[in-house]
Structure 1
Amino acid sequence: MPQPAPPRLTIALNVAGRPVLVVGLGPVGRRKAASLAEAGALVSGIDPRDDPAFVAELAGIPLARRWIEPYRAERLDAEAWALVALCAPEEVNRIAAAEAQNRGLWVATASEPERSDWILPARQRLGNSRATLALSTEGAGPALAAALVRRAAEAIQPWNDWIAAAGRLRAEARATIADPAQRRAWVASLASEPRLEQVRNQGVSVVEAQAREELRRLRGPLLNRDPLGESASFPP
């Protein structure tokens, strides 16, 4: 019996400024192109269509290049592609996937996700932070993943802005608490159940102010000593 494939590793990938190729600019291809462009990728697309209705559908997607032609393997050699997304008809995707993977390129193929090297999960930005909630079904149900990630984002909405606040407090703790073990314990407290309940009941601004007061009290006895033996407090 064939062994099941191991679960995929979920990572956050920096594609800013990196060239990405999307083959097929139908609805799925446009969604992938838009997501990749939003992340800062330099997205190029291949699609033979050029009628006015189709061009209108591309409006708002900042394509670095658009080749108005059927897929051909030479385009795989046109750039040192960081990623390739295949969103064309299945027979085209199958050929392109083999040719791209033979070149060592990382491929996502919409029609055969099990052959993909990478999969773009459903995503939802959280509050005013840079945090993103992501959910992948590894290609088994993209629409379901999108629906579930929206529901999950709604469920954790009370803590969305706490993500950014906790990031600020963590940075301040590094400049305030000299002892590494004490610092780790205090930073961990920002994610404790009592703290999260405080955020839910009292709001982010109140809890952030309380946490900052805790840091102010911790600052007093935790002074750095300079080489001359004179004490110097941590930056405020």
Structure 2
Amino acid sequence: MNSFQMLKYGVVRMHDLVQDVLHWERFYLCGRLQKPVHILVDNLDIGDVNSVNLRAAVSAALLLLPSKFTEVDLYSKICSLSYMGDLRMLFAEDKNKVKRIVEGQFGLFQSMYKPFLKEYEAKELLTFSLPNSHQATISQDRSLSMTHSLVHSLPPLVRRKMGMKLGEMQVLKDSGRVLHEVVIGSREEAARSMQKIIRRTVMVSSARQAVSGFLAAGGINATRYLANKVRKAWKSWK
């Protein structure tokens, strides 16, 4: 007997995919690629392109984390970025969704993000109390210089929006290039600003996707899908 499995799929132009991965324009495709996925066909070497997205995700998560945390905390924070402001999380999603995703795919998260953690460790920006253990306590440098470094790793669009809120200053590099840097008064201020930008982006994107999904699936199928989501959400809250 043949077995069937329901799969969610979408169609997107490669230009739109790259734009979201590099700039977090809608925080939809980039959010999905911050979690473990299985790429069937890759004509653009999207793995290399996505490394920019993964580095930015680590930086965003570190800005939101305290001075000490675990590897599970880090991946949970990364995973939660794409749910900030998601309208479905208010009533139609399992409140334990992020925890289940990370715990169920911890090894895959490790393989995705380990290179960036090793890089930060080599630069003495992160310190691991128990190397090679997912229960290790990770300590991070929360100085203003480290905060600037993390913000600099965020996508240009996010930095530009942060600069509009916090202010910008021009920095002349040795190469003669003039760069626009976000003015950061404190780590907390930078984290709040970034969080608001991501939350608003995800909120708009989730509303757009909800409407598109309803139109594509049709009223009956969309209602069934939503009812199933709500049922799971209510079970998780009991």
TM-score normalised by length of structure 1: 0.24
Which structure has the higher relative contact order (CA within 8 Å, separation 6+)? Answer: 2
TM-score normalised by length of structure 2: 0.24
Answer 1 or 2: which has greater strand percent. Answer: 1
Instruction: Determine which structure has more spread, i.e. the larger CA radius of gyration.
Output: 1
